[in-house]
Structure 1
């Protein structure tokens, strides 16, 4: 069930003040205070509905799943303005006012309102993982485990470039959400993934290739779920990820994070490329003992974190081991 927290007089990174910010969220599993807390940050087109009927991470979160709702309290916040409450325009006047750090700060405000002192795991994929990096940087002792998946602690030049292309489409196309989604899916999948799925097959009784129909349908589905203002905001946030704004030095910023850091990349990711994550691990390994690198092997590219559930479950299982927490008692 969607719940709401009102955050008053929130100051954005650019200095503007939001008098009232609605933060929507959902909880799953055990009541708050009865079990270890897991915060799940959704990706660009996701929302707080992480498990249950049509939950987007049902393969990982639920009864007897890796993140077991019998043993954990799962909390998922909606990025303010994502429109999951049906009213993105209530918040967005200028989508470029917001940064990933602002969203991270708003989420942390929500955690404080819920009186949560410690979080067992903070996990997120893509944009959600970038926001997770920002949250851990802002409150480095709040989280026991930081698990950023198919993401990075900063927007690379490649990400920034593609955000610009998306922004241009969203502001200049006659059919902005559909057209932007067509382009985005070419970043989220790979040529090998498309070949395996479609193999140049055509739609029955039509001259259209199946890949064309699939892409257009993806665009139309997103258009039905997203308002333009919300999609512009989500896209823009990607290019603002950067935990080094204060230090200009990743090692300095990341060293203070006390959490175990589990970096999960995808070997064929064309968006948040694995080379960047390997470089991050190489920087951290000499200065931080509790940092770990994991890599999903897949032909599917960036979206593998939403497809390769068996591999992701194997990576996460040692972190979310049921036996470790079955006798949890709130202090």
Structure 2
């Protein structure tokens, strides 16, 4: 793991009016030195972290030397959502996780960028929760973001998302084994019946009476319990339902029609969590008022998690965005 760096944020006012005297913001930097190259901000998903490339990097297929997001050309910044536990210190939000919103986290990320003397970015990109955070970051400072790339995500929490957040919250607060049990439910949201059925085909583990699907789910729950804090899970899950770029603002089109940022909406055709119909509607609405809005769709049997599985398709979608920037710079140089 690349060394974590820390930014100290003091007297931060939350959206609900409360103030946090101190918030440590941990991050990792990859690629070129700050100030020497275009900046790409990568936002992690619910159980993710800032370790996006290198040893155990969760997006190694897309980020690194001579890859789609090329660290020989770009400066890549990945923040940890405060409270996600990756910093491995005592700071957590277990007692007041419901005080925080995605908008708070987006403002915290911008505080971090400004403290690093980064005033504008080539792209903000993220999957799932990270994509929702990318939407909010862009709306906060649209003049500072050249490309918004939300993947398997949405600009608002639908009733379906809110309902599942409630179920997860109930499990996390009432189960005797909260992280593992919540993960069992979540995994079935992240995949599809077709994906599960095709993979396991009602097979059993050896001569035991345990089905392979049961073993697979149990192992996912155990793995997450061994690396993730309960306070982090509660917070990240809660943030999902606070996602709404129109809250306290104008309507969706009024907010975005004046934004010059290029918007690349990436959906998964079988996503049962952030369903593609919502993303298509977003594109159709924006397309009526903006020229630089694009819709891309990953075709996969695997559902929501396809953004962590179908790397070849995702690379093909992202390549024109990042390669164009590199080519333009080479020409101007």
TM-score range (shorter-chain normalised) is over 0.9
2:8 to 6, 9, 15: 6
Report the Cα distance in structure 2 between the residues aligned to 1:326 and 1:194, rounded to whole angstroms.
46
Deviations 1:140-162 (A, max 9, x none): 11110000000000000000000
Match of 1:290 in 2: 292
Q: What's the secondary structure of 2:307's corresponding residue?
A: helix
1:324 equivalent in structure 2: 328
Mapped partners of 1:325, 1:226: distance in 2: 41
Residue 315 of structure 1 is matched in structure 2 by 317
Question: Match of 1:87, SS?
Answer: coil
**Aligned-residue offset at 1:205:** 2.7
Deviation of 1:170 after TM superposition, in Å, equals 0.4
CA drift of 1:327 comes to 6.8
What TM-score, normalized by structure 1, do the two folds share?
0.97
For 1:93 and 1:179, locate their aligned partners in 2 and report how far apart those are by CA, in whole Å.
21
In the other structure, the counterpart of 2:73 is 71
Q: Are residues 117 and 188 of structure 1, via their aligned partners in 2, closer, same or farther at CA, if it must alter by over 3 Å?
A: same
What are structure 2's unaligned runs of at least 5 residues?
A: none
- Tell me the distance in 1 between the aligned counterparts of 2:213 and 2:252: 40
- Matches of residues 223-238 of structure 1 in structure 2 within 5 Å? 223-238=225-240
Residue 91 of structure 1: how far off its partner (Å): 4.3
Name whichever of 314-323 and 299-308 sits farther off: 314-323
Determine if contact 1:26/1:76 at 8 Å carries over to the other structure.
yes
4+ residue runs over 6 A deviation: none
Structure 1 residue aligned with 2:44: 42
d(CA) in 1 for partners of 2:39, 2:198: 39
Instruction: Give the alignment's Cα RMSD to 1 decimal.
Output: 1.2
SS of corresponding position for 1:318? helix
Q: Which residue of 1 aligns with 2:207?
A: 205
The alignment status of 1:172 with 2:174, answered yes or no, reads yes
1:277 paired residue number: 279
How far the C-alpha of 1:93 sits from its partner, in A, is 2.7
Q: Distance in 1 between matches of 2:90 and 2:214?
A: 30
8 Å Cα contact 2:45/2:129 also seen in 1: yes
Indicate yes or no: 2:88 matched with 1:86.
yes
> For each residue in 1:287-307, what CA deviation from the matched residue of structure 2 results, as whole angstroms up to 9, or x when unmatched?
111100000000000000000
TM-score scaled by length of structure 2: 0.96
Q: SS where residue 85 of structure 1 aligns?
A: coil
Runs of at least 5 residues in structure 1 that lack an aligned partner in the other structure: none
